[in-house]
Structure 1
Amino acid sequence: MQRALLLSASFLVARILAQILPVPVIVSTTSGQLVGVEVDGVASFKGVRFAQPPVGLLRWEPPTPFTSNLLFGATTLPPACVQQFAFANQAFDENLFNNPPPPEDEDCLFLNVWAPAPLTGPLKPVVIWIFGGSFNFGTGSLPIYDGTSFAKNQDIVVVTFNYRTNVFGFPESPDIPVQQNNLGLLDQELVFTWVQQNIAQFGGDKDQVTLMGQSAGSGAVALAILRHGTDAPFRAGIMLSGVPLSSSTALNFSSFNAFALAVGCTEAPGSAARLQCLRAVPAATIRSYTNGPSGGSFGLIVDNVTAFDSALQRIQNNQLAPVPILLGSMQDDGTVFSYGLTDLQAFLDSSLGAASLLLSAPVVRLLYPGLNDSEVIAAVVRDVGFRCPTKLWADTYVQSGLPNVFRYTYGAVFPDTQVFPGAGAWHSSEVRILFGTYNTSSATPAEATLSASLQAAFANFVKDPTVSPAQNWSQYDPGLLGITLAPTLAAIAYNGNVDPGNFVQPEQQSSINGPCAVWDLALN
């Protein structure tokens, strides 16, 4: 009897230890033999190199695949790529979007995988996460993007990764070919290829891949849809607060040229000599400049390979991967970008240029009755930057005969998410809820419930993007003048609704789109 009790106790201790102690797991990939760990039913592989270090002669070159047969430890999140935060808002932006700040390195092209254990049996759906940050900052190494909860609770494989940002990833440079300027997007494409080649080793199905991104990452998902066709390396896209519409084809090299002069490379613009000089400048020197008061602005250019001048035209012309999409925006997407702004006319002048003569402060106030000027500025940023472009994408997708569109607006506000007064459901505040990485020590029970509800809905879309992802969530129908017989806009977590059966409330899209009738004219 005593022996039986001891054996039973030993078995119980072994089970408990298996849940809390890491167990090595080895997977064979094109990047080598990866030694990850399994903890509590989730195997994780962190810091997997997918490209050669983009340093020295490979700085400002398209990513070169990394291949190896060697054994590599894969238990530590990799460094972020070199970051750029606008000088005027550095402390504010870093506190919101880079906290805690991970180490940075120009050698940064790594990815991470979380997969339900064991890595055998029927292959599972896969989601590839693309971080946001205005293509200037961001990293897959932030703790809020940890894929453990998603993989464990939803039985899917999660991939996060780094891509080059700011002058390293989107230099807008005359010194390299136009088609190589959107290097960050080329990094993303290499990750998509890596997943196709390797994800089965982690129990993932390469034919059931969904791209998911937020803000600039959402825009990156949209651009991937626009540059692929029916042979796309993914079958669906999820876009949280960010889609491209139209972009100028004019090339502006002023920021890059000023940067070159500032770091001592005075050779002729566009010359091999200047590029050679710039490749020898230490990354730390470059970061110091780009984060300084004259750091410059770097971003996407229209190259007609990775990015295009008219997204809506490509949708209408069926020049895209015709995949199901789930997309939406936040009730208060604009608050983090308008914090501290009070002069409405000055804001309109700086944002709209000549159009502010027609859309002057008195006119714009009429679009947002009952709001003070600070609130109007936040609403304009939300609508022009996020809500109305999302509407145009969803409307055009459906009107072009593309099925399986699911649109939402997110309104959850919790006491511990109010990072400043009046933040509301601010830009990216849903990410922690979605990944299950919210602060458990300060979260309310409602926050935990919404996390489970939201995560399940998005995972349902990943598992089958052709059916309703949640109760009350129908395929989107723009209707006639925004009115349909059945409301098909999913209002998520408004009025305290967080339970699986009610966190989605169907609404007429016209309930939130009023000012878009004006802004759409400018956006088109």
Structure 2
Amino acid sequence: MGLYKSGPSTDRAHCTSTMPAIGIGLKLKTLAVAALLTQVVNTAGDAKSITISTTSGRLNGLVQDGVMTFKGIRYGQPPTGIRRWEPPLPFLSSATHDATKLGPSCIQQFAFATANLSRALFNNPPPPESEDCLLLNVWAPSGSTSTKRPVLFWIHGGGLTFGTASLPTYDGTSVASNQSVVVVTINYRTNVFGFPSSPDLALQGNNLGFLDQDLALAWVQLNIAKFGGDPRQVTIMGQSAGGLSVSTAISRHDEARPPFRAAIMLSGNIAALSPLIPTAFNQFATAVNCTQAPGPQRLSCLKAVPTSMISAFVDGPTSGSFGAAVIDNFTVFDRPIDRIAAKKTARVPTLLGNTKDDGSLFALESGPVNLTQFLALDFQGAVPEQLVRSLYPGLNDTAIISGIIRDFIFQCPAGLWAAASVRSGIANVYRYIYGAVFADLQVFPGAGAPHASELPELFGTFNRTTATAEEVTLSSTFQTTIANFVKHPNTSPAPGWSSYANGNVAKLAFADNVDLNNVVQLVKNGTVDVPCSLWDAILGAL
């Protein structure tokens, strides 16, 4: 999955958090299931042109049915040629630019045995790809921009190896129209282009994708008022690797004027990191015929390699995974939980959690269906099988493996982060578990509420030809809940949802409760986190 620690025998061993031998099929994905999701864009009225001047130039966008849309806005200079693997530079222009079409995604990596499945589920239909991809999109309510609105800044998932803002799932029309907030979605470099783990680069020059995200945030601070957004009311939100990205942003920005006032992490945050040494970049360099010793000469050679050749290699059978960040104590720190406790992070209201069945898809992909084999592969036999079985009573091996992945990768880290935030005195921490199960989102039989299944409901981009009335209602409810937090992060986002100060967890949309007045079922963390008694100890030892 590209974000979590694997066994020492794999190339994925340099991954930045807890565990990817699970990761051979667990790429912390972004949901773009074309068979299930249909972009819903209101086309009732005629679109009209609108132009807004920004630091990126005069942008020609469209206004339609009360929403202004600007797509493919360049926020960074092209990171191509000699600028490949360099920190991003802002793009500045006074020229006029078309902003009516989504731009290309950054170069994607779909490698290993699960490549075809990943493409089919999460990159279908595939957007065009390019290294020249530092682009963002803005959706904003039209009309007067004198009243400044809250801003939702979205970071996509994809295991830091793939993903893009140019997916129908992330269309911001519904959120902007129904919730009166400004929506920004961004591209950032992924895989070997964004997280190369290269000895040819300075340590602080390896997590380029996070530097891209920060540059896009800086663009928002400079320009979002032109779209009616308030730069003082920015909430950063991400899912999966996007949620992890949000947690790294919280960690590296201290409490003195971070470029956001609140944060939302959906199924992803860093609890602990393992600073292991990667080898994939050296193997990659050799494979593309740059055989010099690591250093300036090899880097110069690599910058001249055609994009197509690099893309072919990283998607090939001999590539390592590049879905990892390195600990540089600049963009990423090894003990984020400790930084929260030491009050060295951005101290902002936070909403975080996971889906009830966050591990089901990855259990299907992970390989072993036998628990004994799974524990031997992913935990090197260090976890007693009988203890694990006692924590998941009455479940078969497949269901136990799904539960382990959910708990170790998503649910227990969310609990650790929430608890650390509360202990450090951060007010208004809201934790949830999302439990909605809909037939048209069952990507395989028994998927439940799988990883990323909340995203079409959040963005209002679910398939309206297959959705039930309950799904339509929940989309409105969940979108409103998230928007409530964006607008008023110091207030409960939904009726009955109290903060995590006393260990309160909101079970969202369980038991077919989809209305705003009953979507929250409040429980104590001790009732849902029983297996974390084991997994927290392992996470704490990393």
TM-score using structure 2 length: 0.90
Q: How far, CA to CA, are the matches of 1:165 and 1:304 in structure 2?
A: 20
Residue of structure 2 equivalent to 1:12? none
Q: How far, CA to CA, are the matches of 1:286 and 1:427 in structure 2?
A: 30
Residue of structure 2 equivalent to 1:29? 54
Identify the structure with the greater helix proportion. 1
RMSD: 1.2
Change (3 A) 1:86 1:440: same
Q: Alignment partner for residue 231 of structure 1, among 257, 263, 277? A: 257
Offset, 1:86: 2.9
> Is the 8 Å Cα contact of residues 434 and 455 (structure 1) preserved in structure 2?
yes
Change (3 A) 1:18 1:360: closer
Which structure exhibits the higher relative contact order, with contacts defined as CA atoms closer than 8 Å and separated by 6 or more residues? Answer: 2
> Is the 8 Å Cα contact of residues 42 and 151 (structure 1) preserved in structure 2?
yes
Aligned AA for 1:515? P
Q: Alignment partner for residue 534 of structure 2, among 513, 518, 521? A: 518
For residues 297-327 of structure 1, give each alpha carbon's deviation from its aligned partner in whole angstroms, at most 9, with x where no partner exists.
Answer: 2110000000010011000000101000000
Aligned AA for 1:344? L
Offset, 1:249: 2.9
Q: Alignment partner for residue 247 of structure 1, among 269, 273, 282? A: 273
Q: State yes or no: 1:71 paired with 2:71.
A: no
Q: Alignment partner for residue 398 of structure 1, among 422, 432, 456? A: 422
Residue of structure 2 equivalent to 1:421? 445
Aligned AA for 2:490? T
Residue of structure 1 equivalent to 2:285? 260
Q: How far, CA to CA, are the matches of 1:478 and 1:316 in structure 2?
A: 18
For residues 186-225 of structure 1, give each alpha carbon's deviation from its aligned partner in whole angstroms, at most 9, with x where no partner exists.
Answer: 0000001000000000000000000000001001111101
Q: How far, CA to CA, are the matches of 2:318 and 2:304 in structure 1?
A: 21
Residue 48 of structure 1 aligns to a residue whose secondary structure is strand
Moved more, 96-105 or 236-245: 96-105
> Is the 8 Å Cα contact of residues 435 and 455 (structure 1) preserved in structure 2?
yes
Q: State yes or no: 1:500 paired with 2:516.
A: yes
Offset, 1:477: 2.5
Residue 26 of structure 1 aligns to a residue whose secondary structure is strand
Residue of structure 1 equivalent to 2:219? 194
Aligned AA for 1:156? V
Q: Alignment partner for residue 377 of structure 2, among 346, 350, 372? A: 350
Residue of structure 2 equivalent to 1:6? none
Residue 339 of structure 1 aligns to a residue whose secondary structure is helix
Q: Following TM superposition, where does structure 1 have runs of at least 4 consecutive aligned residues deviating by more than 3 angstroms?
A: none
Residue 87 of structure 1 aligns to a residue whose secondary structure is coil
Aligned AA for 1:495? A
Offset, 1:295: 1.3
Q: Alignment partner for residue 409 of structure 2, among 380, 385, 388? A: 385
| Structure 2 unaligned blocks of 5 or more | 1-41
For residues 424-453 of structure 1, give each alpha carbon's deviation from its aligned partner in whole angstroms, at most 9, with x where no partner exists.
Answer: 100001001100000011000100100000
For residues 220-239 of structure 1, give each alpha carbon's deviation from its aligned partner in whole angstroms, at most 9, with x where no partner exists.
Answer: 11110111122101000000
Q: How far, CA to CA, are the matches of 1:121 and 1:400 in structure 2?
A: 37
Offset, 1:251: 3.3
Residue of structure 1 equivalent to 2:156? 131
> Is the 8 Å Cα contact of residues 84 and 193 (structure 2) preserved in structure 1?
yes
Q: How far, CA to CA, are the matches of 1:42 and 1:219 in structure 2?
A: 30
For residues 74-103 of structure 1, give each alpha carbon's deviation from its aligned partner in whole angstroms, at most 9, with x where no partner exists.
Answer: 000010000012321012112222222111
| Structure 1 unaligned blocks of 5 or more | 1-16, 480-487
Aligned AA for 2:263? G
Residue 454 of structure 2 aligns to a residue whose secondary structure is helix
Q: How far, CA to CA, are the matches of 1:132 and 1:478 in structure 2?
A: 30
For residues 143-189 of structure 1, give each alpha carbon's deviation from its aligned partner in whole angstroms, at most 9, with x where no partner exists.
Answer: 10000000000000000010000000000001111001000000000
Q: How far, CA to CA, are the matches of 1:67 and 1:404 in structure 2?
A: 38
Moved more, 464-473 or 89-98: 89-98
Residue of structure 2 equivalent to 1:184? 209
Aligned length: 495
Residue of structure 2 equivalent to 1:143? 168
Offset, 1:50: 0.5
Aligned AA for 1:237? A
Q: Alignment partner for residue 448 of structure 1, among 472, 475, 486? A: 472
Offset, 1:119: 4.5
Aligned AA for 1:347? F
> Is the 8 Å Cα contact of residues 145 and 225 (structure 2) preserved in structure 1?
no
Q: How far, CA to CA, are the matches of 1:232 and 1:350 in structure 2?
A: 41
TM-score using structure 1 length: 0.93
Q: How far, CA to CA, are the matches of 1:343 and 1:204 in structure 2?
A: 52
Structure 1 vs Structure 2: percent identity of aligned residues? 53
Offset, 1:478: 4.3
Offset, 1:399: 1.1
- Residue correspondence of structure 1 range 65-464 to structure 2 within 5 A: 65-229=90-254, 230-252=256-278, 254-269=279-294, 271-298=295-322, 299-339=324-364, 341-353=368-380, 356-357=381-382, 359-464=383-488
Offset, 1:372: 0.5
> Is the 8 Å Cα contact of residues 450 and 498 (structure 1) preserved in structure 2?
yes
Q: How far, CA to CA, are the matches of 1:32 and 1:410 in structure 2?
A: 41
> Is the 8 Å Cα contact of residues 178 and 303 (structure 1) preserved in structure 2?
yes
Residue of structure 2 equivalent to 1:58? 83
Aligned AA for 1:517? S
Residue 207 of structure 1 aligns to a residue whose secondary structure is strand
For residues 2-29 of structure 1, give each alpha carbon's deviation from its aligned partner in whole angstroms, at most 9, with x where no partner exists.
Answer: xxxxxxxxxxxxxxx9952110010000
For residues 232-267 of structure 1, give each alpha carbon's deviation from its aligned partner in whole angstroms, at most 9, with x where no partner exists.
Answer: 010000000011012123432x10000000011101
Residue of structure 2 equivalent to 1:13? none
Residue 506 of structure 1 aligns to a residue whose secondary structure is strand
Q: How far, CA to CA, are the matches of 2:100 and 2:112 in structure 1?
A: 34
